[in-house]
Every structure is written in structure tokens, then in C-alpha cells.
Amino acid sequence: MTTTAPAAADVRKDSPGAAARDPRRPGRIRRIGLPYLLLLPALFLELLVHLVPMVIGIVMSFKELTQFYIRDWGAAPWSGLRNYRMSVDFDAPVGEALLHSFLVTIAFTVLSVGLCWLIGTTAAVYMQETFRGRGLLRALFLVPYALPVYAAVITWVFMFQHDNGLVNHVLHDQLHLTDKPSFWLIGDNSFYALLTVSVWKGWPFAFLIVMAGLQNIPGELYEAAALDGAGRWQQIRRITLPSLRPVNQVLVLVLFLWTFNDFNTPYVLFGKTAPAAADLISVHIYQASFVTWNFGTGSAMSVLLLLFLLVVTGVYLVLTSRGRRTSDV
């Protein structure tokens, strides 16, 4: 439906060159085909790596796929909705564990995204104007984000060690805050350990995005506000934060999706089986699939997770887009 007007525009703006080079029709066909040709590699890869596997994953969730059928997964018997019923039967062990993992993941994600956003925004606003050492500080702050996940997280694993770690050395030996050295990577403390690492690793991304967003705020706004007698704090509240709204809309969504789906951090921090208090959903599903060799149930859980994320994203976009001008793409 949208093709007629822009196509006409294309012909118009091309006509000086096109008329001289080519007869009209072949040129037009080539021009209409070109965008698809340009998109072809991306389309092929998205199909191969993202979309077809997703469809197969959905098919697998309706199958009784245990290790006996892994060589020829097509031969696995259909199981209807059994995998789904099992996943959401919260009175049985499998469903109960999934629900627990889901709730842990929600609590973790909300706290982590909130803290990452808060720290990142505060730092970016404080560093909006130049001061001595700002460039160095900015580079330093980006280091956690630039470090490969496994290198950064394994350093935290060392710091959280019971006997030879820095955290217990400081809290117990030096500050005497605890009666005896605590365990950080097993038991209830593991939630806070995971949260700490996640925030440490994630906040620079928020910092980076907000910093970029701040550069798009016109300086005249501040000058006008200053002429009106608005102080620094008022300028931040009246100009900076409202101007960041569109940036925040995308930033919070991206942070949410990345944190919710994060596999690398808990996997390197805890290994294949996470402690119950920090049993994030992605590791939980990985465990349900690869450790217990039950791929059908694992797939059903993944599909449920995807549905949840789709709904949340949809609702979020509808709610936050209200009152904003709708822009393309």
C-alpha cells in the first residue's frame, strides 16, 4: 500500500540519471529489487539462526523429547500439551521449581535494572559538563562493560570465595561485621552476590546510553532556564530528566530483556546448577534440558518464557508510548 507514492518519488529523483543511462523499465525493476537483494544476507541469517530454530523449538515443546530420541528428534512421539501442563502444574515439583525460578528472576531483574539505570543516569548527569579528569573517569567507568563476561565474573567468583576471598576478608577479618565468614556462592547470599555482579557489569551500559542521550539536549534550553533563575538541581529536574524520557524508554526495555535472559553471568558465577536463591530462569531451563536430558519440557518452558517477554514488551511499549509522538522504526 505504501509503495505507490514513494516509487513515484524514486522515479522523479532518479530521472536525470536514469533516463540517460537505461531504458525505463529494466531500471525500475532493478530499483525495486535492490532493497530485497541488500536485505538477503541478513534475512537468510535471521531465518537460519533465529526464526527457524524458534519454530523448531516450538514444535519440540509438543514432543516427548528425551535422550532416546535425540539422534532422530522427528521420531519422538507427540505429547500434546503435556510438557506445558507439567511446566505450569505448580503443585508438582517441576512446576513449583519453575515458578520459584520465575519469581527469583523477576525480583532480580527489577532490582538489577533499577540500580543499573539509577547509577548510570546519576553518573552521566554528574559528568555532563567538563571537569578535570572527566575523560579518564569516563574510560574507567566503561571498563566493566568492556571486559569479557567470563573474565569479569570469574574475578568476582574469586572475591566471593569463602576462605581466600576479598569480601569475607573485608567484612569478617577487617570490619568484624559477621560472626563467621559467610558463604556467598551457595545459600541465600547468592542472590545478593549475583545482583552485585550484575549491577557492576550492567550499569556502564546505562551510563553510555544516557551520556549519548544528554548530548542531544540543546544547550539553549539550559541557558533559557538559567536566565529564568532556575538553579542546577531545578535544571536537572525540569530539563535533563524530562528530555531523557525517549532514551529511557528504549534503555529500560533493553536492560530488562538482557537481564531477564542473562545466562552468562549466573553460569560463570555458579556453574551448571545455580543455588535456589539465585536460580535464574535461563539457567533453570538449561538445567532442565541439558542436565536432566528432557528437551521437550525445556522447550515448553522456553516458549512460555518467550510469551511472557512478548506480553511484557507489548504492554510496556503501549504504556510508555502514550503521549509520545509515534516515530517510524
Residue 65: phi and psi, rounded to 5, are: -105, 90
Measured from the CB atom, the residue of 75 and 91 that comes closer to another protein is: 75
Contact 146, 207 (CB under 8 A): no
Nearest C-alpha neighbor of 160 from the set 264, 259, 270, 265: 270
Dihedral angle over CA of 250, 255, 260, 262, nearest 10: 130
Q: DSSP secondary structure string, 90-152?
A: TTSHHHHHHHHHHHHHHHHHHHHHHHHHHHHHHHHHHTSS--TTHHHHHHHHHHHHHS-HHHH
Cα separation, 184 vs 190, in Å, equals 5
**Positive or negative: CA dihedral 128, 130, 135, 136:** negative
Measured from the CB atom, the residue of 91 and 175 that comes closer to another protein is: 175
Measured from the CB atom, the residue of 91 and 135 that comes closer to another protein is: 135
**Residue 112: CB minimum distance to another protein, A:** 15
Measured from the CB atom, the residue of 78 and 158 that comes closer to another protein is: 158
Measured from the CB atom, the residue of 51 and 91 that comes closer to another protein is: 51
**Residue 93: CB minimum distance to another protein, A:** 20
**Residue 182: CB minimum distance to another protein, A:** 14
Question: Position 8: which residue type?
Answer: A
Residue 183 has what DSSP assignment? P
Measured from the CB atom, the residue of 146 and 175 that comes closer to another protein is: 146
**Residue 244: CB minimum distance to another protein, A:** 9
**Residue 104: CB minimum distance to another protein, A:** 15
**Residue 33: CB minimum distance to another protein, A:** 9
